Amino acid sequence: MKEERAPWNWPVTATLGLSFLAAITVVPWYGITQGFSGWAWLFFGVFLILNGIGIGSGYHRLWSHRAYRAHPALRLFLAIFGGMALQNSILVWSARHRIHHSDVDDNEKDPYSIGRGFWFAHIGWMLKDYESGEVDFSLVEDLQKDPIVAWQHRWYWTLVLATNVALPMALGWLVGDLWGVFLLAGILRLVVSHHVTFFINSLAHIWGSQPYTDENSARDNWVISLVTYGEGYHNYHHMFQQDYRNGVRWWQFDINKWFIASCAGLGLAQDLKRVPAFRILRARLNMEFKRAHQRLEQASDAKPWREVLESEYAEFMETVRKWQKLQLQKVQQGRKSLAMRLDTRFRELEFSLKMQRKRLALLTAQLSV
């Protein structure tokens, strides 16, 4: 693709450039010559996590994907600390993110398409006014009806200055370390918060596994998830974007998943969307069948294995057909007693898929020998 000519976005370029420059020069110089107090490090850590939750649980999962509903108090909290991360207003961020999901990897439409390179997806897309980065507010008409979203959009820059400058300096003055708190909890925290989020657009589209789909570039990577508060399970997210979880397994590190679930326990979040276990298993098995077919093409004596694989795949499709029939039956006949019987049959079908995954794993191991 020929590089698109676009004018520089100087305010964004200056903000990102100067804050990064200060973080790698002024911050270490001050630390070496003056030292940072424990308070400065504490506020740095607290604000960094709050920004990650504001973006991940708020901007991303609540507003961009409507993965759950939140009490006004929680929405206000997420709007303030998400805005503190200095990644634009909820309306602008969500509009661009929805385009990213609908046109992922499309270099003409995806605002931060990895197809245009790591640098472009990570930060380059913001430095110039590219056509693909134009904001279509028609995509967020639902959010414009949210009074907190509208308030944050209207007062965004006041909020940014209050949280990124006034708040760190006020806390620094209170604890007797004005410049230390400002440099760590203000400047360094902002730069780290930026690049942690940017890794989702760049690293999470080139590094990791694709257990659920290979129809787009998104990857699952537990290392990225550790530094992005759970957003690193990106292949799952692109497959099931309305699930409030990214790390779908209970042990997968996902601070935003745990935060949202905790808020639900406190009555601050409702209607948490979860993808049925059967659909998740179906996606994994579909990818495993696809990879087994690819290995079969490389096998020296493929005929007997091909027959086994075709038989397993036919059984897989029959299980999927039964599940879809049950889903339709559940919708049409929603009586409680019937629903309980259907739930038992759903669990039986899920168990069938789990057993088939084990057989397919054995078959794939044989093909690899």
3 state DSSP class of 220: strand
Q: Are residues 249 and 345 in the same domain?
A: no
* Number of domains comprising the chain: 2
The predicted structure's pLDDT at residue 369 = 54
Q: Is 228 a domain residue?
A: yes
Q: Is 54 within 8 Å of 62 (Cβ atoms)?
A: no
Q: Are residues 319 and 191 in the same domain?
A: no
Q: Are residues 234 and 344 in the same domain?
A: no
Q: Provide mean pLDDT across the span 262-277.
A: 96
Q: Provide mean pLDDT across the span 64-76.
A: 98
Between CA 224 and CA 231 the distance in angstroms is: 8
Q: Which of 57-61, 210-214, 333-337 has the lowest mean pLDDT?
A: 333-337
pLDDT in tens, 134-154: 999 999 999 999 999 999 999
Last residue of a domain, one of 210, 240, 270: 270
Find the domain containing 312 and state its range. Answer: 277-368
Q: Are residues 109 and 160 in the same domain?
A: yes
Between CA 363 and CA 205 the distance in angstroms is: 30
Mean pLDDT score across all residues of the chain: 90
Q: Are residues 165 and 48 in the same domain?
A: yes
Last residue of a domain, one of 249, 270, 291: 270
Q: Are residues 251 and 174 in the same domain?
A: yes
Q: Provide mean pLDDT across the span 175-193.
A: 97
Closest CA to 111 of 187, 9, 210: 9
**For residue 158, is pLDDT > 80?**
yes
Q: Is 93 a domain residue?
A: yes
Between CA 219 and CA 115 the distance in angstroms is: 14
Q: Is 232 a domain residue?
A: yes
Q: Is 2 a domain residue?
A: no
Last residue of a domain, one of 215, 248, 270: 270
Q: Note the pTM of the prediction, 2 decimals.
A: 0.90
pLDDT-derived band at 359, boundaries 50, 70, 90: confident
